[in-house]
A and B are shown apart, each in its own frame.
Chain A
């Protein structure tokens, strides 16, 4: 006689998260994907048919391909800049001995996240715009005749995005770096390695999981950003989330918006898997070495 199979207690603990993921990610994504292959809105029109025309339209018009490229480029540059700025900060935060200093630095990293993205973006507008703090000061001092093009372009968009998303990088990296045993670096240095070499050959490889997680997080947030590119990019920046918003909120073409969303997700997943794969190989090589 077979004994009844028992459900693991871990499964019960994971079940709420799984249900949440199902209800608030898979189901909405499924609806979006379904809309993207329908000829109309099934809620309003009963006689909709399956069609691939929304994908044909996207792939057949260079505007959308250029927008996809622009989205990925802004995402990649933002991620790289956030990593370069965030790594030293995360290292400092992880290795700080003073509990008070650690708390203050942690608060400094988290504080911007307590303000909304729209407010932070408007703050950047007051700094980077043609009449903003930087240009007004330089023009007022007679150092400039015309304002520097600090916003209404990709530069302004990336600056604001990096500021908004760098805390995600720092917090992710600090957790990983904090778990690396400092004695490994000390051992490397006691064997003659310089501090820089000890960092490059010991700490940096061991923090690769944090770099991977932080980069994926920032990249995902940056390529899906809507408000900041809209406010900072002016006429020169057109990303896929902006086009998706236009289709939903102004053109009211949910099907085409769905197709753009599916393509953005598919391309992002491919890039993320490739990035994961490359970093994984690097980490394994370091392990063997």
Chain B
């Protein structure tokens, strides 16, 4: 017998389905067919984002995502009006998110009300050192050549070994957050704490001669070419060469590893704010976290991700491992950045 479909029944079914849809994703109910403007990285990360993650997001949320991969993003956001920002979601490292937050270019606080998956995160991902929501982190430690007869470094202080003069690597501190993090860590290692800049400057002086690069990809090349035999680098910058038979390895110093957070935040003037929060929530889903973590060797910020064994063994994805992450007070650092940049330039040139 053929089922008869009445007008009232059809309307009821549509109404029920709509209600479930609204309850299921309350934030994005009114954001369909909208355009979400985001920033994101290039390279392998960008390939996975543009090839898999974003198309799935667009399909599920019935929206269009416009991506800017041309770093730096913050000057462009600064140049756009607050009520018509060039981006809806800013993806940046923690130091830049703090600068954006201080300037009022991103929202002050994101809670579980806007992004329910925040409840699944490790505490560091939304700590008071973060402006926004951390979706991944890398561990900054020491990368070294395994074919140069070096003893694998156990401490950050091993970088100051006189035998490494001219063959150790660091960053142009004014433009690189790894260099800035390392400078603050020097204050802790050789002085009274992270804010002991005088001790940090003195320790930096001891690292000369040192080869400096402006971005992390270049440090990878320096290590691969043996131009540098030991340098400050994030774990993903070494692990991505796994299986390629390269004589480089990552060491996590006993004092802890510096956290290089990938942070998302929403611009206050966004016209699709609910969709923007929906995007952050989507990026924290276990399947999305697993896909991206294993593509680029980033440690997922969500506790509910089950990584494949080889990633599980190395990435920072347990409470014990996460406890080794050292977070930087970027708000404090940014307030002194000009003074630090000028001092560091003198130390390194002189």
Contact = CB atoms under 8 A, between A and B. Distances in A.
A87 B81 CA distance: 51
Given A44-B78, A44-B104, A63-B342, A251 B174 contact: yes
Contacts of B103: 44, 252
A61 B72 CA distance: 27
Most chain A Cβ neighbours within 10 Å, of B175, B342, B349: B349
What does DSSP make chain A's interface, helix, strand, loop or mixed? loop
A269 interface: no
Contact of B82 (A44, A61, A253): A44
A44 B75 CA distance: 12
Interface string A229-261: 011001110100000011011111110000000
A129 interface: yes
Given A249-B175, A250-B174, A235 B212 contact: yes
Given A130-B227, A131-B227, A245 B75 contact: no
A230 B212 CA distance: 10
A251 B337 contact: yes
B211 A152 contact: yes
A196 interface: no
A41 interface: yes
Interface residues of B, number: 35
B6 interface: no
B8 interface: no
Contacts of B167: 130
Contacts of A43: 78-81
B99 A230 contact: no
Interface in B299-350: 337-338, 341-342, 345-346, 348-349
B74 interface: yes
A279 to B, nearest CB: 34
Interface string B203-222: 00000101110100010000
B172 interface: yes
A252 B212 contact: no
B82 to A, nearest CB: 6
28 contacts: A41-B79, A43-B80, A43-B81, A44-B104, A63-B342, A129-B225, A130-B166, A130-B167, A152-B211, A230-B214, A231-B214, A235-B208, A235-B211, A235-B348, A236-B348, A238-B349, A246-B174, A248-B72, A249-B74, A250-B174, A250-B175, A251-B337, A252-B75, A252-B78, A252-B99, A252-B103, A253-B338, A254-B78
Q: Which 6 A-B pairs have the closest CB atoms?
A: A235-B348, A249-B72, A250-B175, A246-B174, A235-B212, A131-B227
Given A235-B211, A251-B337, 6 more contacts: A44-B105, A63-B345, A63-B346, A235-B208, A236-B349, A246-B175
